[in-house]
Amino acid sequence: MSNEDPGRRRLGRGLAALIGEIDRPAAASTPAVRAEAQAPIELIRPNPRNPRRSFAEAELTDLAQSIREHGIVQPVVVRPSTASAGHYEIIAGERRWRAAQRAGLAEVPIILRDVNDRTALELAIIENVQRTDLNPLEEAAGYQQLIDEHSYTQADLAQVIGKSRSHVANTLRLLRLPDEVKTLVVDGVLSAGHARTLITAADPGALAQRIVDEGLSVRQAEQLASQPGVVSEEVAARPSAEKDADTLALEKLLSDSVGMKVAIAHRRRGGEIRIVYRSLEQLDELCRRIKG
């Protein structure tokens, strides 16, 4: 008999299977899920741990109008509330529930799932990510929540969310940005791609404002952020132990050859070699060596 954690086994099943479980009522013999039913809207409460925090007014208004005309096409997925007997807590579908209130509905269709906090959070993130309902920072906060509260690794998240490990890592890095930059991302003024170029900047707020003011592309932002003096001292001083042995050996070989500190930075496409000189004499010597 296997001692493997059921949660771990579920990680390998992929996004499609989990999304299917969210939205599809199970057979009556399945105790964890009850078939679709109607529930009074006042008995349903939002999940305070829902990774999604922002709901655009225009979108809610449009959805409310659609609900008035066509009803709710997709049920709201809920679980029994642990705080109030007879009430429900939303797992997925809070936007539909909010719009239904605006539309004046007394009841909404639900699918009731009896799941724990971990699974509820997991399904909420999956549903929102799959439908691109989360802004990048909400997505990052949801990932961090699973890491902090349920000991997920980045590899686990990549499997269960159906994204690459690099996507998970890059998304989590956005949480390191200062609040003023995060606000620009949440408001849609700055894309996640732009925001990632600012993580190592000495003054990400000023650089973000320049990107917005000048309408810079992500590529232009990357070039700007890579200029000397733009990278923060913390990143510049990051220990070279993070690099692989071959890169370290090549850095030492080049440093010994030119008599100056050489740093090699690999990127997804290409990279750069940085040579640090401490005087004009060293710069002249370097130019002579390059010219041969």
Digit-coded pLDDT (tens) for 12-39: 333 334 334 444 443 433 344 454 688 8
**Mean of the pLDDT values across residues 127-152?**
77
Q: Which of 97-101, 210-214, 231-235 has the lowest mean pLDDT?
A: 231-235
Q: Which DSSP category does 174 fall into?
A: G
Residues 6+ apart with CB under 8 A from 39: 78, 88, 107, 108, 109, 110
Given this model, what pLDDT does residue 148 score? 83
DSSP labels for 191-259? Answer: -HHHHHTTTTBSSHHHHHHHHHHHT--HHHHHHHHTSTTTB-HHHHT--GGGS-HHHHHHHHHHHHHHT
On whether the CB atoms of residues 124 and 142 are closer than 8 A, the answer is yes
pTM exceeds 0.95 for this model: no
Task: Report, as residue numbers or ranges, the catalytic residues.
Answer: 94
Q: What kind and span of H or E run contains 272?
A: strand 271-276
d(CA 161, CA 153): 12
Which of 32-46, 71-85, 121-135 has maximum average pLDDT? 71-85
Per the structure block, which two tokens stand in for 4? 């493997």
Give the side-chain half-sphere CA count within 13 A for 273. Answer: 13
Q: What is the CATH number of domain 6-169?
A: 3.90.1530.30
Given this model, what pLDDT does residue 230 score? 56
For the chain, the domains span: 6-169, 192-233, 239-291
- Let me know if 130 is exposed, middle or buried by CB neighbors in 10 A (0-12, 13-18, 19+): middle
Given this model, what pLDDT does residue 140 score? 87
Q: Which of 7-11, 54-58, 140-144, 191-195 has the lowest mean pLDDT?
A: 7-11
